[in-house]
């Protein structure tokens, strides 16, 4: 095995390649664009494009593509070759600055929530030079943002890029009030831990539900699930280790800093974590990671499942979105720091986050809403749908003491040194871990654990960036106009704890008591994607997204439509898949087995033996078959959504009418599965899927 680390990033048009391939002045101009967002001059773009093309050709590329991220959670792009014909019947290879900077895909065939009709199909992709181009499958990939002819964002990257500017601007204002005049930019940094399942390809191919829906729609609980707790961090099977190794290598060549890999809690579940990066690169890299996970699985005769809940009864998969803020000169703003001055600054950012998360809990919840996540959140193994913050007892008590106007005393004196005024020296990593919190402080960053494993991380991060930027803006206004700086900081801490302390919860989020307690505290509990979607229409949320130029009201509305349409489509496809599986696989198997048992039973009876257990089995099977048949009939009857409903009503109909019927059908099928002989059951069972990798 091994890896030649000199080839790390060899397929990326990264800084060192740019420096090598571009004239010095071009390199400087491009670097300036990347760092401070000034648009690139057309003549410079031509030079960059030429250098990119030559490099790509050297690497064996024949095509280029504008790579973008529509609202599908996948990426997209069409491939164009570099060829251009000459009069003598040959070709030359060309790639202009214009082709680098702008592309023009048809926008009507992507989810757009009514923003685009087929007759006004034009859309644009614009080069995002802050994320490096790379080569994959003999194609030069150019990361781009995707918008409509009229300038509305049709992707997840545009609002993300906009939110990065917002958070930088507002965080810098705060830093200036603390006397920092040297940092020029603040970046949101993200490390997205990715969970996934790996199963055998042959078994996968035999399950229509996995192939069509990415999750099992049927499947009785296996004798052994994850109750032995022997998989988490356990020995990695040779076949899986091989897969992980190939995945690492592929990602490393693409410049993705894949760092940690391990087995997760459920059997057949694993995780990969990269080293963090600025958020838009982290987002691109996470998309590449998901894609490579699927592709390399297929090459290894495996299937990678990225669905949030592929199997009932064992853990689902999420994406732990580790988020922090860093200056361009390397200061992590969520690092408690060594001296009191850094502490107050840290506490100010901390208060901004607490305030933002409480004020916009519904929007943050929405940012993790995707139909698959509804099966995962709140099922006693993933955070509930209630947003709360874990700070740890110590940090909470420090904030509480300051808020109440006395010196923090609830912390051990050995690690608490009093500095200016009421400001303590905060220890790093004082807190224990709380794995049940949806939004946990983990020493120098927050970990947002609600994000679904199949989602793009862009949505969660542009919401986080925006709501924190907005709160920082309000704090900045207070601090910039205050004559008593320390007093104003104390007032900010006081107001934060008084008005938003309710969102802090250090206990076990998986309990019923917390659900009750959260209700008393007035925290929203938006259990499903359909409930969460409404947050897109809330004037307070539209205002904040608007104020920082992240999404216009129209764009919010279109995203609301896209989310609900997606929900409805997914549930409808799942219902149809169930019907097909029952009609063409499950009922035929049941009838055939029932017939066999009945035959044997009557043969025995003819020879004078009356077998009671056989009779009981016949009775049970026959009753269950009737239930399955009736429930299936009912499901087909209701599966057509009434035409007159609007998108919210359609999604609600799916949630409240179709889904319960699907659950009932599954319940009967899972009961009969364990009564029928294994060789008669028409698909691999949970034991096969989870334990036969």
The radius of gyration computed from the CA coordinates of the chain, to the nearest angstrom, equals: 28
Binding site partner of 189, from Mg ion, ligand ADP, none, Cβ cut-off 5-8 A by kind: ligand ADP
- Nearest distance, CB of residue 190 and ligand ADP, angstroms: 5
- Nearest distance, CB of residue 545 and ligand ADP, angstroms: 23
Show the 3-state SS of 33-101: HHHHCCCCCHHHHHHHHHHHHHHHHHCCCCEEEEEECECCCCCECCEEECEEECCCCCEEECCCHHHHH
**How many other β-carbons are positioned within 10 Å of the β-carbon of residue 494?**
16
Binding part of the chain for Mg ion, among 190-198, 423-431, 499-507, 573-581 by CB under 5 A, reads: 190-198
Q: Which is nearer to ligand ADP, 207 or 285 (CB)?
A: 285
Q: Which is nearer to ligand ADP, 128 or 193 (CB)?
A: 193
DSSP state of 416: -
Q: Which is nearer to ligand ADP, 388 or 442 (CB)?
A: 442
Alpha-carbon gap, residue 503 to 618, rounded angstroms: 55
**Residues 6 or more apart whose Cβ sits within 8 Å of residue 270:** 195, 196, 197, 198, 236, 240, 244, 261, 262, 263, 264
- Nearest distance, CB of residue 11 and ligand ADP, angstroms: 22
- The two tokens of residue 353 are 């986050």
- Nearest distance, CB of residue 155 and ligand ADP, angstroms: 23
Binding part of the chain for Mg ion, among 66-74, 192-200, 231-239, 286-294 by CB under 5 A, reads: 192-200
Residues that bind ligand ADP (CB under 6 A): 189-191, 193, 273-276, 322-324, 332, 442, 444-445
Q: Which is nearer to ligand ADP, 220 or 282 (CB)?
A: 282
**How many other β-carbons are positioned within 10 Å of the β-carbon of residue 691?**
15
CB 240 within 8 A of CB 662: no
- Nearest distance, CB of residue 479 and ligand ADP, angstroms: 24
Residues numbered 333-392 forming contacts with Mg ion, rule: CB under 5 A: none
- Nearest distance, CB of residue 260 and Mg ion, angstroms: 9
| Cα three-residue angle 386-372-511, rounded to 5 degrees | 30
Residues numbered 106-165 forming contacts with Mg ion, rule: CB under 5 A: none
Q: Which is nearer to ligand ADP, 285 or 666 (CB)?
A: 285
Q: Which is nearer to Mg ion, 155 or 193 (CB)?
A: 193
Q: Which is nearer to ligand ADP, 187 or 577 (CB)?
A: 187
Binding site partner of 273, from Mg ion, ligand ADP, none, Cβ cut-off 5-8 A by kind: ligand ADP
Show the 3-state SS of 7-42: HCCCCECCHHHHHHHCCHHHHHHHHHHHHHCCCCCH
Binding site partner of 324, from ligand ADP, Mg ion, none, Cβ cut-off 5-8 A by kind: ligand ADP
Q: Which is nearer to ligand ADP, 170 or 324 (CB)?
A: 324
Alpha-carbon gap, residue 116 to 643, rounded angstroms: 22
β-pair type (139-148, 63-67): parallel
- Nearest distance, CB of residue 272 and ligand ADP, angstroms: 9
- The two tokens of residue 515 are 């659900």
Which x/- pattern over 193-212 shows residues binding Mg ion (rule: CB under 5 A)?
x-------------------
Number of residues that bind Mg ion (CB under 5 A): 1
Task: Give the closest residue to 352 by CA, choosing from 459, 434, 475.
Answer: 475
Binding site partner of 322, from Mg ion, ligand ADP, none, Cβ cut-off 5-8 A by kind: ligand ADP
Binding site partner of 442, from ligand ADP, Mg ion, none, Cβ cut-off 5-8 A by kind: ligand ADP
Q: Which is nearer to Mg ion, 162 or 449 (CB)?
A: 449
- Nearest distance, CB of residue 566 and ligand ADP, angstroms: 28
Q: Which is nearer to ligand ADP, 141 or 323 (CB)?
A: 323
Task: Give the closest residue to 680 by CA, choosing from 594, 604, 583, 613.
Answer: 594
- Nearest distance, CB of residue 360 and ligand ADP, angstroms: 20
Q: Which is nearer to ligand ADP, 126 or 331 (CB)?
A: 331
Binding site partner of 274, from Mg ion, ligand ADP, none, Cβ cut-off 5-8 A by kind: ligand ADP
Cβ-in-10-Å burial (0-12, 13-18, 19+) of 131 comes to buried
Residues in the chain: 693
- The two tokens of residue 22 are 């571009």
User: How far apart, in Å, do the first and last CA atoms of the chain sit?
Assistant: 21
- Nearest distance, CB of residue 392 and ligand ADP, angstroms: 13
Binding site partner of 307, from ligand ADP, Mg ion, none, Cβ cut-off 5-8 A by kind: none
CB 409 within 8 A of CB 402: no
- Nearest distance, CB of residue 273 and Mg ion, angstroms: 7
Q: Which is nearer to Mg ion, 193 or 488 (CB)?
A: 193
Q: Which residue is nearest to ligand ADP (CB)?
A: 191
Binding part of the chain for Mg ion, among 110-118, 189-197, 539-547, 590-598 by CB under 5 A, reads: 189-197
CB 105 within 8 A of CB 28: no
Q: Which is nearer to Mg ion, 193 or 335 (CB)?
A: 193
- Nearest distance, CB of residue 442 and ligand ADP, angstroms: 4
Cβ-in-10-Å burial (0-12, 13-18, 19+) of 637 comes to exposed
Would you list the DSSP string of 102-149? EE--B-TTS--TTS--TTS-BEEEEE-TTS--EEETTEEEEEEEEEET
Alpha-carbon gap, residue 324 to 333, rounded angstroms: 7
- Nearest distance, CB of residue 275 and ligand ADP, angstroms: 5
Binding site partner of 313, from ligand ADP, Mg ion, none, Cβ cut-off 5-8 A by kind: none
Q: Please identify which residue in the block is written with the tokens 């990593």.
A: 429
Q: Which residues bind Mg ion (CB under 5 A)?
A: 193
């Amino acid at each position: 095995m091994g890896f030649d680390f000199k080839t790390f990033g060899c397929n990326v048009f990264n800084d060192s390649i740019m420096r090598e391939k571009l004239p010095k002045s071009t390199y400087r101009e491009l670097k300036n664009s990347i760092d401070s967002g000034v648009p690139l001059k057309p003549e410079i773009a031509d030079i960059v494009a030429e250098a990119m093309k030559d490099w790509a050709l050297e690497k064996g590329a024949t095509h280029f593509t504008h790579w973008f991220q529509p609202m599908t959670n996948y990426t997209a792009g069409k491939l164009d070759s570099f060829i251009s014909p000459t009069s003598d019947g040959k070709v030359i290879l060309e790639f202009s600055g214009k082709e680098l900077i702008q592309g023009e895909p048809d926008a009507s065939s992507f989810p757009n929530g009514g923003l685009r009709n087929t007759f006004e199909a034009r859309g644009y992709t614009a080069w995002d030079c802050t994320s490096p181009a790379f080569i994959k499958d003999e194609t030069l990939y150019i990361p781009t943002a995707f918008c409509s002819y009229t300038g509305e964002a049709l992707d997840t990257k545009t609002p993300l890029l906009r939110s990065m500017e917002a958070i930088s601007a507002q965080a810098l204002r705060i830093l200036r009030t603390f006397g920092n005049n040297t940092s020029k930019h603040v970046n949101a940094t993200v490390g997205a831990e990715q969970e996934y399942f790996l199963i055998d390809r042959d078994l996968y191919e035999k399950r229509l539900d996995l192939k069509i829906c990415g999750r099992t729609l049927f499947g009785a609980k296996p004798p052994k699930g994850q109750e032995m707790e022997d998989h988490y961090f356990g020995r990695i099977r040779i076949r899986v280790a091989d897969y992980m190794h190939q995945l690492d290598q592929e990602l490393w060549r693409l410049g993705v800093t894949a760092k940690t890999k391990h087995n997760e809690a459920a059997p057949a579940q694993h995780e990969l974590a990269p080293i963090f990066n600025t958020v838009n690169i982290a987002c691109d890299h996470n998309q590449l990671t998901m894609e490579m996970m699927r592709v390399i699985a297929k090459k290894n005769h495996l299937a990678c499942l990225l669905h949030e809940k592929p199997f009932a009864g064992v853990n689902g998969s999420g994406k732990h979105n580790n988020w922090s803020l860093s200056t361009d000169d390397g200061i992590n703003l969520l690092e408690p720091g060594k001296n009191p001055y850094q502490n107050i600054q840290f506490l100010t950012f901390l208060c901004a986050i607490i305030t933002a998360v409480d004020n916009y809990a519904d929007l943050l919840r929405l940012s993790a809403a995707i139909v698959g996540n509804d099966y995962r959140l709140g099922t006693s193994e993933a955070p509930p749908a209630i947003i709360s913050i874990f700070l740890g007892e110590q940090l909470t008590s420090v904030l509480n003491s300051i808020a109440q106007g006395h010196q923090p005393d609830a912390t051990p004196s050995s690690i608490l040194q009093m500095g200016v005024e009421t400001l303590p020296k905060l220890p790093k990593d004082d807190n224990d871990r709380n794995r049940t919190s949806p939004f946990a402080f983990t020493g120098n960053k927050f970990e947002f654990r609600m994000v679904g494993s199949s989602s793009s991380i862009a949505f969660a991060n542009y919401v986080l960036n925006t709501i924190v930027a907005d709160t920082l803006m309000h704090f900045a206004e207070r601090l910039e106009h205050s004559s008593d700086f320390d007093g104003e900081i104390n007032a900010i801490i006081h107001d934060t704890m008084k008005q938003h302390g309710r969102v802090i919860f250090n206990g076990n989020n998986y309990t019923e008591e917390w659900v009750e307690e959260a209700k008393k505290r007035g925290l929203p509990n938006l259990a499903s994607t359909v409930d969460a979607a409404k947050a897109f229409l809330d004037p307070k949320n539209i205002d904040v997204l608007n104020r920082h130029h992240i999404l216009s009201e129209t764009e919010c509305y279109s995203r609301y439509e896209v989310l609900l349409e997606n929900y409805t489509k997914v549930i409808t496809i799942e219902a149809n898949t169930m019907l097909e599986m029952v009609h063409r696989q499950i009922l035929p198997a049941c009838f055939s087995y029932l017939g066999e048992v009945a035959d044997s039973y009557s043969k025995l009876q003819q020879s004078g033996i009356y077998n009671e257990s056989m009779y009981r089995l016949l009775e049970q099977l026959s009753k269950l078959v009737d239930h399955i048949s009736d429930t299936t009939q009912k499901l087909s009857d209701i599966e057509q959504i009434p035409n007159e409903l609007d998108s919210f009503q359609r999604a609600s109909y799916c949630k409240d009418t179709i889904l319960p019927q699907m659950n009932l059908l599954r319940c009967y099928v899972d009961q009969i599965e364990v009564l029928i002989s294994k060789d008669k059951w028409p698909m691999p069972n949970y034991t096969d899927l989870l334990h036969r990798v």
